[in-house]
Amino acid sequence: TGASFSITARTYLTKFKRNGVTRLQDSAIVTYFISFDNVDSQKVIVSTSDEVTGIDFSYPDIFLKDYRFSFFPNDTGGTLLSIAFDSDTTLGLSPVGIAVINRNTFFLKRLYLFYPDVKRYKEYSRFISFTEYERLIIPDTIQETFAKSGIFSVDYYQRETIIDSVQVYR
């Protein structure tokens, strides 16, 4: 849309170690200024590295692509409807996963995305939760889980971004 707004977000980068131990690697608080669905600029409030700034708020419009959609047989007809989406491997559509929509308003509530072929990472997946704020549907949580190949092993990480505040400009 043509809406202009800013969001202030906290981001945490966690590394998973052996025996289920996690270690906070980095964190940041950043205000992102958005208009016409693009991040125009950002103001770093607190950060120790670039690893946790510049979060990607975009997500694919899966309903405009040639995916195969599946509905779950145990659907009880509640407010939320889960729809699985997958692609023929010859089409090379990425990502695959699950979309959860509000059955009454048709607004997207959650996206679970798995990207099988991301060059930068050995494994990469995203979870995005959405909320409605002044007639805008915006992400309120973005969680990325990924693995990077190290020299002798594979390192596993989680980057979680939580939206603290939203300001819409009229």
Q: Which two tokens stand for residue 38?
A: 């693009």
Q: What integer pLDDT is reported at residue 14 of this predicted model? A: 93
Q: Do 37 and 1 meet the contact criterion of CB atoms below 8 Å apart?
A: yes
Confidence tier at 1 by pLDDT (50, 70, 90): low
Choose between 160 and 19: higher pLDDT: 160
Query: Of 169 and 100, which is predicted with more confidence?
Result: 100
Q: Which residue has the tokens 């390192």?
A: 155
Residue with tokens 């025996």: 19
**Start-end of H helices in the chain:** none
**Mean pLDDT of the 115-144 span:** 89
Place of tokens 């016409």: 36
Tens of pLDDT along 53-104?
778 888 888 888 888 899 888 778 889 999 999 987 677 778 999 999 999 9
